[in-house]
Structure 1
Amino acid sequence: METRGRSLVKAVLWNVIGLVSMTAVGFLATGSLRAGGLTAAINTVLGFVTYLIYERVWSRITWGRRHA
């Protein structure tokens, strides 16, 4: 089972990567760093919360795990 701290660190790192890439995509799509950054920030917050919930749910599911 994964600790909450590990899940949190994974979610933060994943979302930093997503924030940078979505800012670039938003900027390319809109030509505005502000609009691209706002879109990326909203996406990052939603993605962060969703990912944390997703990871915590899967940490409780035993299907497909091998027991040593």
Structure 2
Amino acid sequence: MIVDQLILDKGASKKKFAEDQKSERPVRSVAKAISWRVIGTLDTLLISYLLTKEVAIAASIASVDFITKMVLYFFHERAWNKIGWGR
């Protein structure tokens, strides 16, 4: 689904977006998720290091945090995009 919208079927994605100008395209949600996760991961890395004093452990925690929260944020963003409240 995401691959279709991002790479394979750009024409259909543009049509869907044109029909609903209030929503964002998935690629924008991905970009927002990545930029926010970079900030969040740096925060997690710093806090993990301050608590453990171990770079390897802090990096492991930050890596898992980056992946899981980016995926969760993407789906959270897409769900909110379907809600008309507050627009």
Structure 1-normalised TM-score?
0.90
Partner of 2:61: 39
Computing the radius of gyration over CA atoms, which structure comes out larger, 1 or 2? 2
Q: How many corresponding residue pairs?
A: 65
**Which fold has the larger relative contact order, with Cα–Cα distance below 8 Å and residues 6 or more apart in sequence?**
1
Give 5+ residue unaligned stretches, structure 2: 1-22
Identity of aligned residues (%): 32
Instruction: Give the root-mean-square deviation of aligned CA atoms.
Output: 0.7
Structure 2-normalised TM-score?
0.72
Instruction: Give the Cα–Cα distance (whole angstroms) in 1 for the partners of residues 46 and 65 of structure 2.
Output: 13
Give 5+ residue unaligned stretches, structure 1: none
Q: Which runs of 4+ in 1 moved over 3 A?
A: none
Q: Summarize deviations over 1:21-58 as a string: whole Å, max 9, x none.
A: 11111100000011011011111111101100000000
